[in-house]
């Protein structure tokens, strides 16, 4: 699947300007959406046409993944069959997956085809003013797939809990912890304790059905928590979030799919495990309060959690190594 296709046959010396990039097409849906959303945002800022080169079978698969859940986003790209021609030079940009790179430095480049060397583009700042547009790009829902899940309405408030295990355990990333999930759900219940106007339900999503169903095993909290486990496909989970997730809890902070479940959610009220809990030496938690003018376009040379998580989202963690009560950071 990594064998590159022959160079694409494209026209040069046109009156238009294009934008493309290296793509980590072999990754999963969350990363795929990040790359295309970021390139779409950059293309609007730079007044260029976004290009999608189908360079390998992985790129063809990536196109299918995104079209299935966000056909409106894929439709913004001019799709070209073939690899990037050698005549097009690469411009260094976004050298770290999760650190924002200021696109202002690309504005004066006059190349007809601007091809960026970066990958992944895991920063919301590339599409900071496009949440409404990106939500509109989602596929129209098949509501029949949600018949077993609760519906958010004037009488029902839904908290969507995203979990991630499988490959995160293999890669050594911080994966969802049942103790954190249970205690975070207690925290969120207590936060809403004074509001008696709605029935409150939890829906749990993730890549490991056995884990999700075992979160409350041998725990007294089970009888006090109204929850259901989703068995839908990931694309359906994102669409469900748009219409029904009043609040989202991301329990594995490095999960790009968890990010999109929160970003595209109905309520945009998102809580996430503190990403610095995983490795405090690598991750930087930046506090900008209140945000200063142009802070959104500042660049950090290390991982900055504010480059990955939108500023309104709320960080949670254990009170201490000994105290597993969940608190805000």
Q: What is the pLDDT of residues 265-279, one digit of tens each?
A: 999 999 999 987 765
In CATH, what number is assigned to the domain containing residue 257?
3.40.50
Residue 6 maps to a domain: no
Check pLDDT > 70 for residue 288.
no
Nearest partner of 152 among 213, 203, 109, judged by Cα:
203
Same domain, 215 and 167: yes
Residue 113 maps to a domain: yes
Same domain, 186 and 85: no
Same domain, 195 and 299: yes
* Spatial separation of the C-alpha atoms in residues 110 and 88, rounded to whole Å: 13
Same domain, 159 and 53: no
| Whether this model's pTM surpasses 0.85 | yes
Same domain, 196 and 230: yes
Same domain, 131 and 160: no
Residue 12 maps to a domain: no
* Spatial separation of the C-alpha atoms in residues 16 and 35, rounded to whole Å: 22
284 close to 112: Cβ distance less than 8 angstroms:
no
**Structurally, how many domains does the chain consist of?**
2
Residue 154 maps to a domain: yes
* pLDDT of amino acid 196: 76
* pLDDT of amino acid 297: 37
Same domain, 123 and 155: no
Residue 45 maps to a domain: yes
323 close to 183: Cβ distance less than 8 angstroms:
no
- Domain extent, residue 314, equals 149-328
Same domain, 91 and 176: no
Least confident range from 75-79, 156-160, 172-176, 178-182: namely: 172-176
DSSP state of 197: S
Which residue, of 137, 171, 202, is where some domain finishes? Answer: 137
**Percentage of the chain surpassing pLDDT 70?**
89
Maximum average pLDDT range among 74-88, 134-148, 204-218, 303-317 = 74-88
Same domain, 130 and 159: no
DSSP state of 262: H
Residue 143 maps to a domain: no
Residue 10 maps to a domain: no
Region 139-162 average pLDDT = 92
Same domain, 28 and 132: yes
Q: Mind listing the pLDDT tens digit for each residue in 198-256?
A: 889 999 999 889 999 989 876 655 545 678 999 999 999 999 999 999 999 999 988 99
Same domain, 218 and 86: no
Same domain, 190 and 79: no
* Spatial separation of the C-alpha atoms in residues 62 and 60, rounded to whole Å: 5
Residue 305 maps to a domain: yes
Q: What is the mean pLDDT of the chain?
A: 88
316 close to 273: Cβ distance less than 8 angstroms:
yes
Element (H, E) at 53: strand 49-54
Which residue, of 105, 137, 169, is where some domain finishes? Answer: 137
């Amino acid at each position: 699947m990594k064998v590159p296709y022959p160079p694409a046959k494209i026209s040069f010396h046109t009156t238009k300007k294009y934008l493309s990039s290296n793509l980590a097409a072999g990754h999963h849906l969350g990363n795929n959406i990040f790359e295309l959303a970021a390139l779409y945002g950059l293309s609007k800022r730079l007044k260029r046409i976004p290009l999608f080169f189908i360079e390998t079978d992985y790129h063809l698969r990536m196109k299918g993944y995104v079209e299935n859940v966000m056909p409106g986003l894929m439709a913004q790209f001019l799709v070209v069959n073939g690899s990037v021609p050698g005549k097009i030079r690469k411009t260094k940009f976004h050298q770290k997956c999760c650190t924002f790179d200021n696109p202002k430095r690309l504005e004066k480049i006059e190349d007809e085809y601007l091809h960026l060397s970066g990958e992944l583009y895991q920063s919301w700042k590339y599409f900071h003013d496009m949440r409404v547009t990106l939500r509109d790009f989602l596929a129209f829902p098949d509501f029949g797939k949600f018949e077993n899940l609760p519906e958010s309405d004037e009488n029902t408030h839904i908290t969507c809990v995203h979990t991630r295990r499988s490959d995160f355990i293999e890669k050594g990333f911080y994966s969802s912890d049942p103790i954190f999930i249970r205690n975070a759900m207690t925290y969120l219940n207590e936060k809403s304790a004074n509001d008696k106007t709605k029935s409150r339900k939890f829906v749990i999503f993730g890549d490991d059905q056995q884990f999700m169903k075992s979160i409350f095993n041998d725990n007294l909290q089970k009888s006090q928590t109204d929850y259901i486990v989703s068995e839908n496909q990931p694309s359906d989970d994102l669409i469900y979030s748009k219409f029904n997730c009043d609040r989202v809890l991301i329990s594995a902070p490095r999960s790009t799919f968890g990010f999109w479940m929160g970003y595209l959610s109905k309520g945009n009220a998102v809580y996430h495990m503190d990403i610095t809990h995983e490795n405090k030496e690598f991750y930087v938690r930046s506090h900008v309060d209140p945000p200063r003018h142009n802070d959104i376009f500042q660049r950090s040379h290390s991982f900055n959690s504010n480059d990955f998580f939108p500023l309104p989202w709320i960080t949670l963690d254990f009170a201490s190594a000994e105290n597993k009560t969940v608190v805000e950071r």
